[in-house]
Structure 1
Amino acid sequence: MILDWNKVRIFVKPGPTDMRKQINGLSIIVSEELEMDPFEGNLFLFCNRRKKILKIIYWDKNGFAMWMK
């Protein structure tokens, strides 16, 4: 997957996120808490309380991609 960095925007969810959540739960957070459309092709970043785990979700035309570090 190749991202077009001229079109992709990056959003960071403020505050801690439960890292047990997977793509469906994180996309609901984007919709309800951030009041954004998770299907627009932007990157959404989530961090746990200790700031040691990072999850990123991204919608491409075939479905969600999720990265975790």
Structure 2
Amino acid sequence: MLREAYGIKRIIIRTGKTDLRMGVDGLAAFIRLNYGMEPVDDGTLFLFCGNRRDRIKGLIYDRDGFTLLYHRITDGVYQWPRNTEEARNLNREEFEKLMDGFAIEGSIRYKKKI
């Protein structure tokens, strides 16, 4: 679903953990306050990952309002960068790897332990 989001010109992930209880207003304020960026930048997809790493939220603005995307995988976890709490630009290849369950810096896919 996130891959097919229309009009994406730029992808920015928030490394580290994010409280996914936040909605549109909370995430937009988080982007402004912590990174000094404008979430109303048309075509910029902001991605956030929670503690469990099996779900992510995306926030994108498209001329007339925000779209909040939510994706939870049932088998495995996202290999989300956890080392720092920063906003990081992703190119399309890194985005595809992340969505496929691979680490951005490596090529290992991890399955969730049950």
Question: TM class, shorter-chain normalised?
Answer: 0.7 to 0.9
Aligned mate of 1:54, from 56, 71, 78: 56
What is residue 38 of structure 1 aligned with on the other side?
Answer: 39
Find runs of 4+ consecutive structure 1 residues off by over 2 angstroms: none
**Aligned residues with identical type, % of pairs:** 30
The TM-score with structure 2 as length reference comes to: 0.54
Gaps of 5+ in 1: none
Q: Which amino acid aligns with 1:56?
A: G
- Greater C-alpha Rg: 2
Gaps of 5+ in 2: 72-114
Which has more strand, going by share of residues? 1
Across the aligned residues of Structure 1 and Structure 2, the Cα RMSD in angstroms comes to 1.3
Matched residue pairs, number? 66
For 1:16-56, what per-residue CA distance to the aligned partner results, in whole angstroms no more than 9, with x for missing partners?
A: 11111000000011111122110112100000012111000
The answer to whether the 8 A contact 1:13-1:34 is kept is no
